[in-house]
């Protein structure tokens, strides 16, 4: 018995739909990545000659943290006058600081703290006392104390802290002003005769903070 044209058309349509369904199933979901491309998890999928799919997972690229050096937040904290005087240095930073290469200056005397300190590093919040007789003495009548991260004493980039007392315009005052570590060359601390020292009170760069 021959098929009617309508029945013949329906059979062909069903066959065509079946073929399209098979093609769609073989293609898969595009969101999973290409046949030889990246998948959604950052891996790479590859199909070999035998039809086996191998996925290699690649770790996401993470930028390395910025390099961190020592936080050179050292300050002159106390100046004690007299034969047994000293300058006290404090580390106000969050990291330990290596003292080698850190210089203290009272022109024309300079000292590398790495050569005279009894410790190699100064921890956060710790203090170090530099005896006056190791770098020229400390006179209450007049003087200065500068702290440097290098031996380039004329450069404001290397200065860490500064104080002058008794008189204005000491040798390194202009460097401190340029480094924004002292208000002006004609500004100085006047020691109180009732005491034999001056102390920053945490405001080393502000002359009025010293007492």
Region label for 208, one of left (φ > 0), alpha (ψ between -120 and 50) or beta (otherwise): alpha
In terms of Cβ atoms closer than 10 Å to its own Cβ (0-12, 13-18, 19+), residue 11 is exposed
pLDDT tens, position by position, for the chain (211 residues)?
444 555 445 545 555 555 455 544 444 444 444 444 444 444 545 545 555 555 544 444 333 433 333 447 999 999 999 888 999 999 999 999 999 999 999 988 999 999 999 999 999 999 999 999 888 889 999 999 999 999 999 999 999 999 999 999 999 999 999 999 999 999 999 999 999 999 999 999 999 999 9
Task: Report the DSSP pairing between strands 44-47 and 53-56.
Answer: antiparallel
105 contacts: CB under 8 Å, gap ≥ 6: 135, 144, 145, 146, 147, 148, 153, 172
């Amino acid at each position: 018995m021959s098929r009617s044209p309508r029945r013949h058309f329906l059979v062909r349509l069903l066959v065509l739909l079946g073929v399209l369904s098979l093609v769609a199933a073989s293609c898969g979901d595009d969101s999973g990545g290409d046949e030889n491309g990246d998948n959604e998890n950052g891996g790479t999928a590859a199909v070999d000659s035998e039809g086996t799919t191998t996925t290699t997972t690649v770790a996401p690229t993470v930028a390395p943290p910025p390099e961190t050096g020592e936080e050179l937040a050292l300050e002159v904290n106390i100046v004690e006058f007299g034969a047994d005087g000293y300058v006290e240095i404090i580390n106000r930073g969050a990291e330990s600081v290596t003292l080698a290469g850190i210089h203290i200056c009272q022109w024309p005397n300079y000292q590398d703290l790495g050569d005279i300190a009894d410790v190699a590093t100064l921890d956060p919040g710790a203090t170090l006392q530099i005896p006056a007789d190791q770098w020229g003495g400390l006179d209450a009548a007049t003087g200065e104390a500068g702290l440097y991260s290098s031996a380039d004493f004329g450069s404001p980039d290397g200065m860490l802290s500064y104080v002058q007392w008794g008189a204005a315009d000491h040798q390194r005052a202009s460097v401190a002003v340029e480094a924004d570590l002292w208000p002006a060359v004609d500004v100085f601390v006047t020691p109180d005769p009732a005491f034999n020292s001056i102390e920053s009170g945490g405001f080393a760069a502000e002359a009025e903070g010293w007492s």
